[in-house]
Structure 1
Amino acid sequence: MFYQLYELNHAALAPFRAAADMMRFACANPLNPFSQTPLGRTISASLEMFERTTRRYGKPEFGLNATVIDGKKVAVREEVVWTRSFCSLLHFSRDVPAGHSGDPRILIVAPMSGHYATLLRGTVEALLPSADIYITDWVDARMVPMTEGTFDLSDYIDYVIEMLHFLGHDTHVIAVCQPSVPVLAAAAIMEEAKDPLAPSSMTLMGGPIDTRINPTAVNKLAKERPLEWFADNVIMNVPWPQPGFMRPVYPGFLQLSGFMSMNLDRHLIAHKEFFMHLVKNDGEPEKHRDFYDEYLAVMDLTAEFYLQTVEQVFMKHALPKGELMHRGKRVDPAAIRNVALLTVEGENDDISGVGQTQAAQAICVNIPEEMRMHYLQPDVGHYGVFNGSRFRREIAPRIVSFTRQHSRAKKPPVQRVIKGGRSA
């Protein structure tokens, strides 16, 4: 019922939001002398704040149309090359200059934790000059009809394995935050099956491999309440008229509320400064708009995936304890022998505490020492592990160097353009 009221509230505010937007354009029009006065700018800023705080933010675009390779600017095209009900695989195809070769093929597994894959735009942009990039584009669960079935943690692992099979030999995988657990599980399953298409390397960044280490506020919340509390209080049915009508989900707006509340003072200060910049007609309001257009765009998660993740990752710590199950069989990290491992953490991470990702190094006991590496980035929080100036300057070069160091002999390139799992 709460989800329905949330949707009703958005619908009820729609005409007021449209009126505010229209009035703002009139007040901010440079041909209107009133727009040059402090009062005019104050009214315009107030109207924009109202419109932005009551808006439903849609799925952003990557907007990466070019990159630089060997000092030359080249075009980049975004292509959907593989699709399933709950995920598509995007490829950033580059017009590589003649004579350039040897870039690693990297699959970036974006987190399914409430935000869209575009949250990793900076990650993709930083790696594009040096790698052939693919990224998972998870589908908003409220857009998936009930007829498409369910999606849980085992399905997530299966999707990762399918994508690695599609991409083929000598693929490297990067897991950002939440997917660190299913990606490590996928690598273990493939290695135990002696799958020749297991990734050459996996990079785990700010992920909850073992949340018993340096538990954060997020980890403590999962331990304080029983699973039934989460099922009763945060799981809701998608309201009509969405395509996923009646699908049980963990709504994105609840996840966003949790993230916002963790740093509420910071968000309030950011909005106050944004308002004052608009009134004074100084500063760079576009940076604020761009960040919050991305940050406030959220998606729903299937109830079964969310609850299983809470239980297995945050309550039972199943993976580090050797108890994680996939399709009735135990996942054994010790089976990983040929996949190089890089773990990356942020010194000030308040989502995945320091040591939680590095724990992968301890449970993957059979990876040779020369095929493993850990890096702790000073002075960054969770977001800085995969985005920002320090990521571009310090972390991205290490990832590229690690993948190059552990690449295997090349085989013929992957087939292009696959939809619905059928090659073309």
Structure 2
Amino acid sequence: MLYQFHEMQRAFLTPLAAFTEAGAQWFSSPYSPLAYTPLSRQLAASCELIHRLGKEYQKPAWNLTSTVIDGQPVKVAESVALNKPFCRLLHFERDARRDDPRVLVVAPLSGHHATLLRDTVRALLPNHDVYVTDWVDARMVPLSAGAFHLNDYVHYVRDFIRHLGPDLHVISVCQPTVPVLAAISLMASANEPNQPRSMVMMGGPIDPRESPTQVNRLATTKPYSWFESQLIDRVPVRYPGAGRRVYPGFLQHAGFMAMNPDRHLKSHYDFYLDLLRGDDDDAQAHRRFYDEYNAVLDMPAEFYLDTIRVVFQEFQLPKGTWNIDGELVNPAAIRGPALLTIEGELDDISGQGQTRAAQNLCRSIPAKRKQHYTATGCGHYGIFAGRRWRETICPKIAAFIRQA
């Protein structure tokens, strides 16, 4: 019923969003006589604000068509290196002959599209050969593709690492730190030859018992049955994945907004004031951020519920009890790959110590091949996007990868 109600709401808001989009143009375009009437600026700003609050946000494009290497512009081509039902492995191929480290960026499957890591990829491109996991919206995956569990996520990562070969460096951001550590642990236990050279883990819930956040507390104060009965619904008939059980993206988005409602309200009010003042740069920055932030995807119900139980309620990874299809996840088996863990001092999604826990779990990695960095004054998104990411964290990762 949740999804049906959401679809009814969308049907109601779509005409309003279209009308206010046209109104914003009527009252702002220099070719419109209405733009020269009293209060036209206020009316244009109001229409655009209502339009953006009511519109449906589609998956943004990566728009990474070029980079700069040694001061020279270089073209970048996006291609699919491997295609699976629930994920595409993308390759951002640079038009340059360079023997740079090959990097796999494992994006979160946690409500937002992988394009949320656009700034991450953009900063890596000048000095790395970059691949990214681009997760598919579950409502677009037909039922014939089968279910997708947390264990399947681990197998996907393992397949991607095998496909890209041994000279690989893996960067996981937020949620995938757990399945990435599991995948590499299984590879190490099996003594597979294609283990990566290094693994960088950023702001993830390796051990959510450390410095629990609001996200962690929700998972532990509600029983598993509550998540299954209250947050899971079926995809409506108008989508290719009709009938699939999912955790709808709009519920995840509502949860994100509810964590900092005052901040979002102020951001939208400031956007309205920017439009009144004609401050186009700040207004455009707001549009870019919320075009990405408001674009969400549905997660397979099996994957979401497994994550709640395995990661946030039973703590199977740090307790050493996680068994994947008969194989025990044992991070102590990892010996070859180097390890870098990164946390944000002000992270309100993965608290301090949660990612650093990997340092103790991977006890067989020599101390000289393990590093940890805490970004002072940095929140969750700041560790992989923005000025601190570009100027401080990305150069640290680049140096670590070359050292590994």
Smaller-chain TM-score range?
over 0.9
Amino acid at match of 2:12: A
Amino acid at match of 2:123: A
The count of aligned residue pairs is 403
Q: Distance in 2 between matches of 1:276 and 1:20?
A: 18
TM-score (norm 1): 0.93
Does residue 263 (structure 1) correspond to residue 263 (structure 2)? The answer is no
Q: Deviations over 1:148-191 (max 9, x none)?
A: 10001110000001111111121110000000000000010001
Does residue 137 (structure 1) correspond to residue 116 (structure 2)? The answer is no
* Partner in structure 2 of residue 387 of structure 1: 385
What is the SS of the residue equivalent to 2:20?
helix
Deviation at 1:330, TM superposition (A): 1.4
Deviation at 1:55, TM superposition (A): 1.1
Q: Deviations over 1:93-143 (max 9, x none)?
A: 00115xxx3311000000000000100000000010010000000000000
Q: Which runs of 5+ in 2 are unaligned?
A: none
Deviation at 1:326, TM superposition (A): 0.7
What is the SS of the residue equivalent to 2:341?
strand
Deviation at 1:331, TM superposition (A): 0.6
Does residue 332 (structure 1) correspond to residue 330 (structure 2)? The answer is yes
* Partner in structure 2 of residue 27 of structure 1: 27
Note the aligned Cα RMSD (angstroms).
1.1
Q: Which segment is superposed worse, 345-354 or 12-21? A: 12-21
Deviation at 1:32, TM superposition (A): 3.0
* Partner in structure 1 of residue 17 of structure 2: 17
Does residue 292 (structure 1) correspond to residue 290 (structure 2)? The answer is yes
Deviation at 1:37, TM superposition (A): 5.4
Q: Which runs of 5+ in 1 are unaligned?
A: 407-424
Q: Distance in 2 between matches of 1:340 and 1:277?
A: 47
Q: Distance in 2 between matches of 1:72 and 1:196?
A: 37
Contact residue 186 and residue 327 of structure 2 kept, 8 A = no
Amino acid at match of 1:69: I
* Partner in structure 1 of residue 43 of structure 2: 43
* Partner in structure 2 of residue 359 of structure 1: 357
Q: Distance in 2 between matches of 1:13 and 1:260?
A: 19
Does residue 112 (structure 1) correspond to residue 104 (structure 2)? The answer is no
Contact residue 38 and residue 279 of structure 1 kept, 8 A = no
Q: Deviations over 1:323-363 (max 9, x none)?
A: 11111221111100111110000000000001100000011
* Partner in structure 1 of residue 243 of structure 2: 246
Deviation at 1:282, TM superposition (A): 2.4
Q: Distance in 1 between matches of 2:61 and 2:135?
A: 13
* Partner in structure 1 of residue 312 of structure 2: 314
Deviation at 1:70, TM superposition (A): 1.6
Does residue 70 (structure 1) correspond to residue 70 (structure 2)? The answer is yes
* Partner in structure 1 of residue 99 of structure 2: 102
Deviation at 1:40, TM superposition (A): 0.5
Q: Distance in 2 between matches of 1:394 and 1:18?
A: 42
Residues 106, 90 of structure 1: CA spacing in aligned structure 2 closer, same or farther, 3 A cutoff? same
Contact residue 16 and residue 54 of structure 2 kept, 8 A = no
Contact residue 38 and residue 280 of structure 1 kept, 8 A = no
What is the SS of the residue equivalent to 1:320?
helix
Deviation at 1:63, TM superposition (A): 0.3
Contact residue 26 and residue 34 of structure 2 kept, 8 A = no
Q: Distance in 2 between matches of 1:259 and 1:328?
A: 35
Contact residue 235 and residue 244 of structure 2 kept, 8 A = yes
